[in-house]
Amino acid sequence: MINRGVLLLKYRQPALDWINDLSGKETGATKLTLADLNQQRLVYLISLEDAEAPEAWLKLNYEEVFVAELESRFADQGAWPQHRSYKLFREWFDFECHSTVLDTLDAPIEDETAGLSLPSRQQNELRYKQGVVDWEKLHQKAKRRGW
């Protein structure tokens, strides 16, 4: 087992509608279904501690995750929704989180991304100390709700 949790997003109907509308305008492509969209998903490795309260982690990191999802679908940033709020994010995505991850390979994990860098828990704690995020409040709220 590795010391990471896994967070997966599941596309919802509003995201599908937006993607199909944009794809139809650009390429005349066949309309996708939710099953199509959710068949191949990005996987986000998060700390085990954050896996205990994934919604709190998402509230802190949804902007970067939203951008990663949009980049995985459309390179043209001009076509992306301009106002990407947490409310819109949750309208577009459900999520699931798993805290048991088995690495079945005997090889190091390599980061092959070119620019996606989600904040670590330490960076989020620094943001909290600087007054950017009330991390304790989010964490307590998440615990009360059983996240």
- The residue-averaged pLDDT of 109-121 equals 58
Reported as a pLDDT band with limits 50, 70 and 90, residue 123 is low
Q: What is the pTM of this model?
A: 0.71
Report, as an integer, the average pLDDT of 32-48: 92
- Rounded to 10 deg, the angle between the 54-73 and 121-129 helix axes is 110
Q: What share of the chain is helix, strand, coil (3-state, %, to 5)?
A: 50, 10, 40
- Residue 8 — very low, low, confident or very high, per pLDDT cuts 50/70/90? very high
d(CA 56, CA 147): 8
65-109: per-residue pLDDT in tens?
A: 999 999 988 888 888 999 999 999 999 999 999 998 888 887 777
